[in-house]
Amino acid sequence: MSKFKRKEYDEILEGLQRELIDAQRWLMQTGRRIVVVLEGRDAAGKGGVINAITQRLNTRGYRVVALSKPSERETSQWYFQRYVEHLPSAGEAVLFDRSWYNRAGVEHVMGFCSDEEYRRFLADCPVFERLLTDSGIILVKYWLTVDQKQQEERFAERASDPFKRWKISPIDIAAREKYAEYGRARDVMIEHTNAPNAPWHLVDFNDQRRGRLNLIRHLLDHLPDRKLPDQPVKLPKLKGAPTKEKVKNEKLWIKETY
């Protein structure tokens, strides 16, 4: 299958982003709440698809949550506790760039949690997610897949690009040798946490542009009927001629470099 050319990709994405704006207006007017969980292979493209989703949205209506390593205090809490405080309020969408599924993935594979903590997570997670969906939250879970060869090419690109090197962490480097282990952990995770109220959706991200479009299309189709009338905004005419801004202190101006 040929890869999308930039122009074709941009045209399709623009149409999807228009629908995303409609969906956000629907969320905000109805007070519904949505949580989108984005998990997957390192370098699969989670950040890119989040940017594509949120690029044209009202920043007041969504949040992106990407939590760092838990603090000493957080490690003593109920595992799901630090995620609960980031759940959406009425009319809000929250996108988790990695989520509570860290325990079933990196924590388990890299030995950052005990076997008992891992087993407890697999048992508790469906119960936790049932509480979320029973409360009215729309929960959509995506796993972004990428072949190991493609993953290595992206790591090499990031390592050579000063604007992308920050994306590679020591954990990412160590995890490169555990591609198969991560795959087995993913399969066990899906087996235990795939449920009718919160199913998993796997998306092929070997072609990132195609993956983004497919994921966004699925996300839009997953939402209830969301079409609301979009009334154009008519600005009233100003009374009198526009006035120029006056700044008394010349020292406030920055030097014009461009």
* Per-residue model confidence as pLDDT tens digits over 23-71: 999 999 999 999 999 999 999 999 999 999 999 999 999 999 999 999 9
Q: Which amino acid is at 21?
A: I
pLDDT top residue among 187 and 225: 187
**Per-residue pLDDT tens over the stretch 73-123:** 999 999 999 999 999 999 999 999 999 999 999 999 999 999 999 999 999
- CB burial string 159-172: b at 16+ within 10 A, e below: eeeeeeeeebeeee
Q: Let me know if residue 258 belongs to a domain.
A: no
For residue range 2-11, what is the model confidence (pLDDT) as tens digits? Answer: 778 899 999 9
Q: What's the pLDDT at 33? A: 98
Domain that holds residue 243: 6-252
Q: Does residue 254 carry a pLDDT above 90?
A: no
Q: Give the pLDDT of residue 1.
A: 66
Q: What is the pLDDT of residues 209-235, one digit of tens each?
A: 999 999 999 999 999 876 777 778 787
Least confident segment among 83-87, 114-118, 143-147, 175-179 = 175-179
pLDDT at residue 247 tops 80: no
Q: Is the pTM of this model over 0.75?
A: yes
**Total structural domains within the chain:** 1
* 3-state DSSP helix/strand/coil % of the chain, to nearest 5: 50, 15, 35
In whole angstroms, give the CA distance from residue 76 to residue 71: 9
Residue 24, domain CATH: 3.40.50.300
The 8-class DSSP code of residue 238 comes to P
Confidence of residue 240 (pLDDT cuts 50, 70, 90): confident
Q: Which residue has the higher pLDDT, 223 or 244?
A: 223
At residue 64, the 3 state secondary structure works out as strand
Asked if residue 257 is part of any domain, the answer here is no
Q: How many CA atoms lie within 13 A of 118 on its CB side?
A: 16
Determine the Cα–Cα distance for residues 8 and 13; give it in Å rounded to an integer. 9
Residue 218 lies in a domain: yes
pLDDT for the residue numbered 196: 97
Predicted pLDDT of residue 123: 98
- Tell whether 1 is covered by a domain: no
Of 52, 86, 49, 41, which is closest to residue 68 (Cα–Cα)? 86
Top-ranked range on mean pLDDT: pick from 117-121, 165-169, 252-256: 117-121
| 99, 200 Cβ separation under 8 angstroms | no
Residue 187 has pLDDT above 70, yes or no: yes
Say what angle helices 208-222 and 6-30 make with each other, to 10 degrees: 30
